[in-house]
Each structure stands twice: as structure tokens, then as C-alpha cells.
């Protein structure tokens, strides 16, 4: 049997408090040489295969996995290979509500699966599926008060509505006002118009920590002074140094000793993570995870692209810093390396290509993703492996 490589990505599903409740697993179907399907059933099987290949635990942690599933797959035994309590089976919008399909949905629900109706349109064609749905996905542009009221009248009281293609804070607020409980889209990643606000004390320390970290010469004494002024930073350092990621058993005798135990590389990384996390306390956790995912992914693939690992990590993290801190010009306040500033400013180069690669991967823009990867001499297998490794790394970081 011939082995093939493929991409896999995930898109978060958030609740009204911007907490992640699950991830939709996304498969690749745009390569002209492979991973193209004659019908939607084959595409669904590819999603299942990818979920088994990479592992639902590795991709979703303890959260739900949302997986596209056609009527043909619903009525097959293959679906029972998935962990029922962890899986949400998404029925495509064009699925006809045939008796066999409805019976399969009810049987799977009794076995612990959740059923989602994807791409609902207010044209009556999908109404037969609504009685089986635990979740109904409606594109935000199709969401009106009348549509929401109509769907509520057709579903069970505990069925949740999920707004898709939420691409801005305005979309998010509008969908919440309409009564949606769940949300999916790029609203936490897409650049937004923001108003610069005065920095409070904790934000000042976070910015000082970031500034000290991106300096070419890392001074432990400077980091120590900043950390000692903020009890929250002290706590984060001690929690991090005892995390699963490092498992350091030595007794920490001082802040300086803690930094020394980490070493310069990990101390830089901790300060970047902590400065970002502290600033993101009032932002969705998924935004911080996205920033860390980008940073780790770029760090892992940077050597193949003949870039510095640290520069890759820095570009990935700072690419979302403006959204996290609420300051679009944040990169102008940090004395970052010239190559990093150029990449963040959109100037063409290998670092910028790495950032564009990560963004296209997040958005499942596989054609764009593959073209960039090819230009960097990065194979599909290397990219997929790095992505899954980045997911696992972020899951171990105490946020």
C-alpha cells in the first residue's frame, strides 16, 4: 500500500464566554495530484482517517472533535470507531432527511454521539433534520431574529445554535445578541480596527518583560527586577518551571535561580509566553493558543527555511500581539531584530513566507499553503508533523 502525506488543521468552536469547547477537524482536498474526491462520502472517510492518523487526543485534548459526516457514513459501521463522547458528527447542509438517515442519527445519539446540522438555510429543505440535532450551524450572514426563532421552534429545548463565519468582533456581538450559544470563525485572528488605550500597571510590566526578552542580549538581572515588582509574574514563573514541559526537580532558591535553571533559551521563551498571557487576561484563551501555536510551528519549521528558530518563534507570537494587547502598533514599541520587524511589516522574505504559511494553514487554504511550503523546500509530511507537535506543546503550557 502506498503511503501518502496530507495536511490536517483544526478550527476552534467557542462558547459565549470565548472558552473553547471543541475543534472542527479540517481535511485537505485541493491538491491536484492527491486527496481529491469524487464524492462527499470519500471526503468524510478522509476526515475519519486523518482523525485516526493524528489522534483525536493529540488534536483536541479533552475537547470535542467536530467531524464532517455524510449520510452514507452515518449509516455505516465505520462511524462507531470514533470515541462517541468526544465526537460531534456534522451532517452537510445538502443532506436529504431520509428515514434511514434520521434513524441513524437517533441511534448514534443514544450511543453518546452528538449530531450537528451544518450550513442550515431558511429554505425549509433541512427542516426534517432539525429534530435530530444537538447543534445547528448557521452562517452569520444568514442569521436573523426570524431565522433563529424559526429554528428554535423546530429543535429540542437543549439544542444549541452555532454561528459560523464569525470574522469580527462585530459579528461575534451580533450573533450573541441573537441568542447563539456557540461560535466559529476567524474573529480572534483577523486584524481589527483597535483603539490604543493607556497601559495599566500589569500591562506595563508585561510590555517591559516583552521588551527585555526581544533584546539581542538577554539580561537576567533586568528580568529579575521586572518579575520581583509583580507578584503575578513571580507566580507564573514558579508555575511554569514546575510544569510538565520542564519537570525541573531542583529547589528554587530565588528568582535569579529560577531563570538560571531555565537557561537563556527557555527563559526567553517563558518571558515571551508570560508577557503575552498576562496581557491577554481579558481576551479569549483561544487567541493566546493561536499565538503560541503560530510561534511554535514557525520555530519548528524555521531551520528548514534557513531561518533562526528564535526569529520564527518571535514572528509567530508577535503577529497576534496587536490584537492581544489592543495596540495595532505594538511591534513598533519593541526593539525586535530587523528581520522580524520586516516580516511583521509584510515585507517579502523567508520569515514573512513562514508567517503566511502558518496563517494559510490555520485557515485551511491548502493551495496557498502548499505553494508557500514548496517555495521553502518544506514537505507536506514535515509541515503536518510540526503542526501536530505544536498542538501537543501548547496543550502542556499552563495558561
**Are 168 and 245 part of one and the same domain?**
no
Burial label, 131 (beta-carbon count in 10 A; 0-12, 13-18, 19+): middle
What CATH number did the domain enclosing 148 receive?
A: 3.20.20.450
Q: Whats the size of the chain, residue-wise?
A: 399
Asked if the structure places residue 2 within a domain, the reply is no
**Are 236 and 345 part of one and the same domain?**
yes
pTM over 0.75? The answer is no
**Are 172 and 36 part of one and the same domain?**
yes
**Are 66 and 22 part of one and the same domain?**
yes
**Are 127 and 69 part of one and the same domain?**
yes
**Are 255 and 155 part of one and the same domain?**
no
Range of the domain at 116: 8-184
Q: What's the longest Cα–Cα distance across the chain?
A: 70
**Are 157 and 265 part of one and the same domain?**
no
Give the single-character DSSP code of 251: P
What CATH number did the domain enclosing 293 receive?
A: 1.10.3210.10
Asked if the structure places residue 38 within a domain, the reply is yes
**Are 361 and 327 part of one and the same domain?**
yes
Tell me which of 154, 184, 214 is where a domain ends. 184
Asked if the structure places residue 192 within a domain, the reply is no
Helices (H) and strands (E) in the chain, counts: 17, 8
| 240 CB-near residues (< 8 Å, 6+ apart) | 246, 270, 273, 274, 397, 398
**Are 300 and 153 part of one and the same domain?**
no
Task: Give me the tens of pLDDT residue by residue for the chain, a chain 399 residues long.
Answer: 334 445 677 888 999 988 889 988 876 443 433 334 434 445 555 656 666 666 777 778 788 999 888 888 888 777 877 888 989 999 987 788 888 889 999 999 999 999 999 988 877 777 888 989 999 999 998 899 999 999 999 999 999 999 999 988 889 999 999 999 999 987 655 444 434 443 444 667 777 787 787 777 788 888 888 887 777 777 677 767 665 455 555 566 678 888 888 888 878 877 877 776 666 655 667 777 888 888 889 999 999 989 988 888 888 888 887 666 665 555 555 667 788 888 988 888 999 999 999 998 888 888 888 899 999 998 888 888 898 888 888 877 655
**Are 232 and 156 part of one and the same domain?**
no
The strand pair at 20-27 and 64-68 is best described as: parallel
**Are 153 and 254 part of one and the same domain?**
no
Asked if the structure places residue 193 within a domain, the reply is no
Tell me which of 158, 184, 210 is where a domain ends. 184
Amino acid at each position: 500500500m502506498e503511503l501518502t502525506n496530507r495536511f490536517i488543521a483544526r478550527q476552534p468552536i467557542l462558547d459565549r464566554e470565548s472558552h473553547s469547547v471543541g475543534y472542527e477537524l479540517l481535511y485537505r482536498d485541493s491538491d491536484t495530484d492527491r486527496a481529491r474526491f469524487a464524492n462527499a462520502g470519500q471526503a468524510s472517510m478522509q476526515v475519519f482517517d486523518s482523525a485516526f492518523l493524528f489522534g483525536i487526543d493529540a488534536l483536541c485534548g479533552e475537547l470535542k472533535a467536530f467531524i464532517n459526516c455524510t449520510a452514507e457514513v452515518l449509516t455505516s459501521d465505520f462511524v462507531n470507531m470514533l470515541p462517541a463522547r468526544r465526537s460531534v458528527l456534522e451532517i452537510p447542509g445538502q443532506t436529504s432527511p431520509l428515514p434511514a438517515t434520521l434513524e441513524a442519527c437517533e441511534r448514534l445519539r443514544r450511543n453518546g454521539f452528538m449530531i450537528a446540522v451544518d450550513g442550515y438555510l431558511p429554505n425549509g429543505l433541512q427542516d426534517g433534520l432539525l429534530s435530530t440535532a444537538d447543534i445547528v450551524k448557521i452562517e452569520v450572514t444568514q442569521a436573523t431574529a426570524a431565522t433563529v426563532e424559526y429554528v428554535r421552534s423546530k429543535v429540542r429545548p437543549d439544542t444549541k445554535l452555532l454561528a459560523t463565519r464569525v470574522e469580527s468582533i462585530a459579528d461575534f456581538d451580533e450573533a450573541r445578541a441573537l441568542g447563539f450559544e456557540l461560535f466559529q470563525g476567524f474573529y480572534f485572528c483577523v486584524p481589527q480596527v483597535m483603539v490604543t488605550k493607556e497601559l495599566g500597571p500589569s500591562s506595563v510590566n508585561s510590555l517591559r518583560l516583552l521588551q527585555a526578552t526581544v533584546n539581542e542580549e538577554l539580561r537576567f538581572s533586568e528580568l529579575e527586577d521586572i518579575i520581583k515588582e509583580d507578584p503575578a509574574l513571580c507566580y507564573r514563573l514558579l508555575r511554569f518551571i514546575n510544569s510538565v514541559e520542564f519537570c525541573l526537580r531542583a529547589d528554587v532558591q530565588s528568582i535569579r535561580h529560577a531563570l538560571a535553571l531555565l537557561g537563556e533559551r527557555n527563559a526567553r521563551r517563558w518571558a515571551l509566553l508570560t508577557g503575552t498571557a498576562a496581557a491577554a487576561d481579558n481576551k479569549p484563551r483561544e487567541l493566546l493558543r493561536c499565538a503560541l501555536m503560530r510561534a511554535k510551528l514557525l520555530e519548528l519549521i524555521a531551520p528548514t527555511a534557513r531561518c533562526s528558530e528564535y526569529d520564527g518563534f518571535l514572528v509567530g507570537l508577535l503577529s497576534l500581539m496587536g490584537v492581544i494587547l489592543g495596540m495595532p502598533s505594538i511591534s513598533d514599541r519593541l526593539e525586535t531584530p530587523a528581520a522580524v520587524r520586516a516580516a511583521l511589516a509584510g515585507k517579502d522574505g523567508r520569515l514573512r513566507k513562514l508567517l503566511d504559511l502558518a496563517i494559510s494553514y490555520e485557515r485551511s487554504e491548502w493551495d496557498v499553503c502548499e505553494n508557500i511550503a514548496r517555495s521553502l523546500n518544506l514537505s507536506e509530511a514535515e509541515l503536518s508533523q510540526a503542526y501536530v507537535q505544536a498542538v501537543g506543546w501548547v496543550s502542556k503550557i499552563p495558561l
